Amino acid sequence: MLLSLEGLNKVYSTSSTKVQALCDVSLSLSEGDFVAVQGPSGSGKSTLLLTAGTMLAPDSGRVSILDETPYAMPTNMRAAFRAKHIGFVFQQFHLVPYLSVFENIQAASLGLPASKRMTNSKVEQLLEQFGLESRSRHTPSQLSVGERQRCCIARALLNDPKLLLADEPSGSLDESNARIVMQELRRFSQNGGAVLLVTHDSRAAQSADRIVQMQSGVLTC
């Protein structure tokens, strides 16, 4: 099992309110799986991705990735584990504003030991794959939103992760761009990775093997 989530609960509590973002969520992904999580805004989709991505510890429940339990690891080990095995595509991109497209993709290797960092030819290959060769020296602010999104996915793929967590990767893309992105995700899963895709776009969800619904923190198949 590549990713296994069992009985996850997560409550965000502020001084006045409590929001149950995850409510007894269980989900498993094997190698080659492409799962789409669909649900309305605020239903806890991003929370689920971050929890699965070892970025946000659940209040209860168990997360295991490649038969390891990252939340049991010390912080630095978990970070290294994350760098090695997980790729993120963020809803808000989180591209580094002062790095070029090339460097933004390169930056994915910063969490790896120097000897294991990806070569520049891999970066160039990704640029080509996502149609960004001519944008390689541009900074994110000089890119269109679609280009940013593609840059973001290229970055997530640089380290050859096992698990790709994508939060609305096609949310701001036109139809053809969205189709390219979905094709890449599909190809990633076909190459032995697992993709957990969050989207409220049902057309995008169609690309996935499996669609699960999220509603107020509750996951239903």
Partner 1 sequence: MRNAETGQLTLMGLVIREIQFRKWSFLLAIFAVAVAAAMIFGSEALLRVDQQMTERFLQQKQLETERYIQDHEEQVATTGAKLQDTVRKQMLTLGFNILILPMDVDLSKLHLDGSITATMPYSYAEKLSSSNIVTVNHLLPSVTKRVRWTEQELDVVINGTRGEIPIMHRALKQPMLDAVAPGKMVVGATIQQRLKLALGQKVTLLGREFTISKIQPERGSIEDMSLWIDLAAAQEMLGMQNLIHAILALECECSGDRLSEIRREIAEILPGTQVIERYSQAVTRAEARTESKRAADEALAMAKTDGQATLDRERVQRTALLQKQQALNSMLEPSVIVSTCCVLAVLAFHNFRQRKSEIGLMRALGLGSASILGVFLFKAMLIGALGGFIGVASGIAIIVARILRMRPLVSLPEIWTSASLTAPAAWIPILMILLTVVASWLAAFQAIRQDAAIVLQGE
Ligand X SMILES: Nc1ncnc2c1ncn2[C@@H]1O[C@H](COP(=O)(O)OP(=O)(O)OP(=O)(O)O)[C@@H](O)[C@H]1O
Q: How far is the CB of 80 from partner 1 (least distance, A)?
A: 6
| Binding flag, residue 46, Mg ion (CB under 5 A) | yes
Residue 43 CA, distance from chain mean position: 17
End-to-end Cα separation, the chain, in angstroms: 18
Contact in structure between 210 and 38 (CB atoms under 8 Å):
no
55 binds partner 1 (CB under 8 A): yes
What are the structure tokens assigned to 166, written together? 């994508």
Helix axes 120-129, 145-157, angle to 10 degrees: 140
Helix/strand/coil for 112: coil
Binding site for ligand X (CB under 6 A): 12, 14, 19, 21, 39, 41-47, 91, 200
Q: Which does 83 bind (CB under 5 to 8 A by kind): ligand X, partner 1, Mg ion, none?
A: partner 1
Give me the long-range contacts of 122-130 (CB less than 8 A, separation at least 24). 122/158, 123/158, 126/154, 126/157, 126/158, 127/101, 127/102, 127/154, 129/154, 129/184, 130/154, 130/180, 130/184
Contact residue for partner 1 among 56, 66, 211, 218 (CB under 8 A): 56
- The answer to whether residues 55 and 81 touch, using CB atoms and an 8 Å cutoff, is no
CB nearer Mg ion, residue 46 or residue 51:
46
Q: Exactly one of 16, 17, 41, 75 binds partner 1 (CB under 8 A); which one?
A: 75
State in angstroms the smallest separation of the CB of 206 from partner 1: 26
Residue 189 makes contact with partner 1 by CB under 8 A: no
Please report how close the Cβ of residue 108 comes to partner 1 at its closest, in angstroms.
6
Is 66 one of the binding residues for partner 1 (CB under 8 A)? no
Least Å from the CB of residue 197 to ligand X: 13
Give DSSP secondary structure letters for 116-134. Answer: GPPPHHHHHHHHHHTT-GG
| Nearer CB in complex with partner 1: 1/96 | 96
Q: Which is nearer to ligand X, 14 or 115 (CB)?
A: 14
Binding stretches for Mg ion (CB under 5 A): 46
